Every structure is written in C-alpha cells, then in structure tokens.
Amino acid sequence: MTKLDVTLQCLTGAATGAATAIRAWALLLSTLPAYRLTAPFVETALAALAERLYSEATEVRAAAGEAIALLYDAAGLGELEGDSGELLLTLTCYMMPGS
C-alpha cells in the first residue's frame, strides 16, 4: 500500500479533503524529473487514482482525472509507439466495479 493509498483512505469521508490531497499530490508530482517516474510507481499511482474515478463526489472524480492526465503526460505514456490511449482505457475498464 502506497502513501497515496493511505492518505486517500484516511480522507474517504471528506470529499473536499480527498480532492485537495489528490491535487496537492499532483502538484508535487509535477516537480519530479521524468527519470523518477519508474514503472512500478506509475502503475501503483494510476491504480490508486483510477479507483477514485468512481467516487460519489464529483470533486474527487475530477481531481483524480486531472492527476491521471498529469501522470500520463509526465511519464511520457502518450509518446509510446502505437499508443492512442489504450493503456488508460484498459486501466479504467479494469478498475470498473464488477470487472
């Protein structure tokens, strides 16, 4: 379990707090050099954020989507050969309830 998971679980009942935590995490992420974004880190972060896309709170879903977009761009996932968003689509479909 990552620090992001722990933070988000602690804030489950407080949608504004959870959205703020996600946005703060994304701000910190934007300061990291690309070489620090290892595959295990990116996979773990994407999985944790993808779960928040199904939050009841719109603010949390929006913050998670913004963080995923930032992570996707910062990690260079959009630049992969032949990639047109299949990774993100696969991840979000995998994380859908009931799958």
- Residue showing tokens 């990774």: 87
pTM attached to this predicted model: 0.68
What's the domain count of the chain? 1
Supply the pLDDT for residue 99: 47
Q: Which domain holds residue 87?
A: 3-95
**39: number of Cβ within 10 Å:** 8
Supply the pLDDT for residue 73: 87
What percentage of the chain has pLDDT greater than the value 70? 65
